[in-house]
Amino acid sequence: MEEILQSPSMAKRAMWLVQLRWVAIGALVVATFVSRRFLGVKLASEQLYYLAGGLLVYNAALYGLLRWLTRSRAEPPSKAIGRVISLQISGDLAILTTILHFSGGIENPFAFFFVFHMIIASILRSPAESYVQAALACLLFGAVVVLEYAEWIRHYPLEGFAGHGLYRDGVFVLGTLFVFCVTLFLVVYMTTSIAQQVRAQQADLELANRQLKEQDKLKNEYVLRVSHDVKGHLAAIQSCIDTVHDGLLGPLNDAQKDMIGRAHRRTAQALAFVTDLLRLTHMKIAGKVQISCFPVRAMVAKAIGAVRDRAEAKSIGLSAEISPSLDIICGEQLLLEETLENLLFNAVRYTPAGGKVRLEVFDQGQEVVINVMDTGIGIPWDEMPHIFEEFYRASNARAVDREGTGLGLSFAKQVVERHGGRISVQNNQGGGCTFTIVLPKGADRGTGRT
């Protein structure tokens, strides 16, 4: 049997059939009751109620079986579940046949409900099995109407609904049966053709998706390799320039100092860019974070400490508040500290002298919320959607400071998402903006998505 659906969704479908059956059982009871009581159709209601009772037991057993098959297993056994689905479809054909037998046989138009079973078989199972199920339906229903016609078994008439004696009319019986069977086979033919097309498309999409992921991985490895090499050269250049720049090889005149200063600055910029790119790419390739729990206070103190000098140099008021109920935070410590430093660094960089930068960390149910607020230049509203994109820098940020790699916020986003959290930004009413990180509290929430 070909694997048509992946097992988790197959298990879901199998359970869906069980749920549909609960509804069908209810409908059988209600329809029997209403037909007899209000429509005056004389039904063999006693037998039908017994059947409904039997169906309840049958459906409960299927429910139990499926629960047992899927219990505590991430990957339920797809073959077994496939067999349960086949069993359900065949069982339902037998049950519907029995119900029809007790409610008029060939005279009951509900016979065309077999179409539903054919559609379900065609979607969930293979074409071959669907044709077998169609043949089984024809055989079962055909046997009942032929046996009733031959009066080998009793006929339960639908008095008050269909003309009495139709079941004995050979032409009517054969004609109806013929149309019935042709309908079932046509339904299977049409549905399986469409289902196969959909499946083929799905397989193509999955393949394309896999290829894209593979290419993305190759790209990341390529970027990693190139930036690693370039970083090696830049580090050597920087080290050599440093010796001249710092006057270790003798004093420089002003023109030499100016030129070497320019070279020094540009190398530092290129190095910062390559370092950021390396970090971001490492993050993308690594895929998962190593989670441990550590004191929030230590993280905040470290991040604040990293930007204190810069803030003081610009007379920016730097403050931090941690809600008293929050002691520890779980995540990859170095990455979270770096992310926080990044955001604070940005806040200080884009806040004019005399402004304020504030860090808040607080508890919110199952999550930890970190706010980095500033009274800086804010972000133009139409550029908001791009702010976390790689290499993107807001126009006003570029105007304030030509340096900057445009990779800091992409890195922050990667880090936060790897932790199963989210990051967002909004402008404050009085000016400046607030970056908000929301992290799940549990240590087990880190995701290993690649």
40 contact partners, CB below 8 Å, separation of at least 6: 160
How many chain residues interact with other proteins (CB under 8 A)? 23
Question: Applying CB under 8 A, which of residues 209, 256, 290, 319 lies at the interface with other proteins?
Answer: 290
Cβ(376)–Cβ(432) under 8 Å?
Answer: yes
Query: Which residue stretch of 105-113, 139-147, 241-249, 384-392 sits at the interface with other proteins (rule: CB under 8 A)?
Result: 241-249
Contacts (Cβ under 8 Å, ≥6 apart) of 360? 320, 321, 322, 369, 370, 371, 373
The reply on whether position 419 binds other proteins by CB under 8 A is: no
Query: Per CB under 8 A, which region of 192-200, 242-250, 411-419, 423-431 contacts other proteins?
Result: 242-250
Q: Which lies closer to other proteins via its Cβ, residue 282 or residue 441?
A: 282
- Decide: is 283 part of the binding site for other proteins (CB under 8 A): yes
Q: Which of residues 306-365 bind other proteins (CB under 8 A)?
A: 334, 338
Residue 176 vs 227, nearer CB to other proteins: 227
The residue among 28 and 278 lying less far from other proteins, judged by its C-beta, is 278
Angle, to 10 degrees, between the axis of helix 7-37 and the axis of helix 114-124? 180
286 binds other proteins (CB under 8 A): yes
Compute the C-alpha angle 143/145/150, nearest 5°. 90
Q: In the complex with other proteins, which residue's Cβ is closer, 217 or 282?
A: 282
Piece in contact with other proteins (CB under 8 A), picked from 270-278, 342-350, 367-375, 383-391: 270-278
Residue 419: CB minimum distance to other proteins, A: 15
Q: Is 170 exposed, middle or buried (0-12, 13-18, 19+ CB in 10 A)?
A: exposed
Which one among 155, 279, 393, 418 touches other proteins, defined by CB under 8 A?
279
Window 249 to 268, contacts with other proteins (CB under 8 A): 249
Nearest residue (CB) to other proteins, 249 versus 255:
249
Only one of the segments 63-71, 91-99, 227-235, 412-420 lies at the binding site for other proteins (rule: CB under 8 A); that segment is: 227-235
Site for other proteins (CB under 8 A): which residue of 85, 234, 336, 377? 234
The answer to whether 155 and 105 have CB atoms below 8 angstroms apart is yes
Q: Do residues 388 and 435 lie in contact, with contact meaning Cβ atoms separated by under 8 Å? A: no
Q: Could you say which of 240, 259, 313, 443 contacts other proteins (CB under 8 A)?
A: 240
Give the contact letters, 363-402, x = binds to other proteins (CB under 8 A), - = no.
----------------------------------------
Nearer to other proteins, 236 or 259 (CB): 236
CA 58, 60, 64: angle at the middle one, nearest 5? Answer: 115
Rounded Cα distance between 20 and 30, Å, is 15
Residue from 143, 270, 271, 326 binding other proteins (CB under 8 A) = 271
Site string for other proteins, 143-182 (x = CB under 8 A): ----------------------------------------
One residue of 23, 74, 171, 248 binding other proteins per CB under 8 A: 248
Which listed residue (128, 179, 236, 259) binds other proteins by CB under 8 A? 236
What does residue 367 show for φ and ψ, rounded to 5 degrees? -130, 160
Binding mask 186-225 for other proteins (x = CB under 8 A): ----------------------------------------
Which part of the chain contacts other proteins (CB under 8 A), choosing from 73-81, 107-115, 233-241, 418-426? 233-241
Answer for the pair 106, 176: CB distance below 8 angstroms, yes or no.
yes
* 359: β partners: 320, 372
Nearer to other proteins, 33 or 294 (CB): 294
Is residue 131 within 8 Å of 150, Cβ to Cβ? Answer: no
- Select the residue interacting with other proteins from 239, 256, 395, 450 (CB under 8 A): 239
Q: What are phi and psi of 18, to 5 degrees?
A: -65, -45
Instruction: Give residues in contact with other proteins (CB under 8 A).
Output: 232, 234-240, 242-243, 246, 248-249, 271, 275, 278-279, 282-283, 286, 290, 334, 338
